[in-house]
A and B are shown apart, each in its own frame.
Chain A
Amino acid sequence: EVQLVQSGAEVKKPGESLKISCKGSGYSFSTYWIGWVRQMPGKGLEWMGIIYPGDSDTRYSPSFQGQVTISADKSINTAYLQWSTLKASDTAIYYCATSRVVTEMDYWGQGTLVSVSS
């Protein structure tokens, strides 16, 4: 059974850094893309970017390029989403999801709530 387990909720202050994780199991982690999706409170889904753990090929949405960093460690079947300087507007639920290809997201993690407030 394919499973993606995300790290727990985070409460941070503006200006702080953060790295959240997504651990995959039940499939060949290195040969599936893992993408990240943002959902701000009461809003829709936003595609942030995606990584292929096998060779670390990474694609970003222009809206998120330079704002976040996506990475993966295939030795521990884990993908990451990180910020160097959080803003209040980063408050959202962040989902990871697997893709056989870049264009769809088949299996989803449970989501990580990130709250940024002074």
Chain B
Amino acid sequence: QSALTQPASVSGSPGQSITISCNGTSSDIGGYNYVSWYQQHPGKVPKLMLYDVSKRPSGVSIRFSGSKSGSTASLTISGLQAEDEADYYCSSYRSRSSTTYVLFGGGTKLTVL
């Protein structure tokens, strides 16, 4: 099953804002508001940053925000900090051929310059 499509890498300077896109189809992102975003630092366990497109779990900085337009979801990080340097993965609920499951994107490496 093809993953959701993310850019391999993005970069930004401290204080700037960056946006990571996540492209799907009408069977996943375009059909449901069940997009999540995860942050993973090297050698660490993934952490849920956003769910249901734009909701933040308790404890996640308000600098992280999410949106969706059609079959593309986006994660925006404002006021970029060195600690934000990590891999970011989107995920979405998918329903296809009477099968429902969750799909991850390929991941995006964020570099803070």
* Residues of chain B within 8 A of A108, CB atoms compared: 45-47
A26 interface residue per 8 A CB criterion: no
Given known A102-B93, A103-B93, contact A47–B101 (CB-CB < 8 A): yes
* Residues of chain A within 8 A of B3, CB atoms compared: 44
**Residue of B with least CB distance to A44:** B107
* Residues of chain B within 8 A of A97, CB atoms compared: 46
- Interface size on B (CB < 8 Å)? 27
Residue of B45, B52, B106 near A110 (CB, 8 A) is: B45
Task: Give bound CA distance, A37 to B101, whole Å.
Answer: 12
B70 to chain A, nearest CB (A): 19
Given known A103-B34, A103-B93, contact A61–B101 (CB-CB < 8 A): yes
Interface contact B46-A61, CB-CB below 8 Å? no
Tell me the number of A-to-B contacts counted with CB atoms below 8 Å.
68
Task: Give bound CA distance, A61 to B100, whole Å.
Answer: 8
Give chain A's interface residue range (CB within 8 Å of chain B). Answer: 20 to 34
Interface contact B103-A47, CB-CB below 8 Å? yes
A24 interface residue per 8 A CB criterion: no
B41 to chain A, nearest CB (A): 13
B96 to chain A, nearest CB (A): 8
Interface contact A104-B105, CB-CB below 8 Å? no
* Residues of chain A within 8 A of B104, CB atoms compared: 37, 44-47
The 5 closest A-B pairs by CB, nearest first: A103-B34, A44-B107, A104-B51, A47-B102, A104-B36
Name A residues whose Cβ lies closer than 8 Å to a Cβ of B: 35, 37, 44-47, 49-50, 59-63, 95, 97, 102-106, 108-111
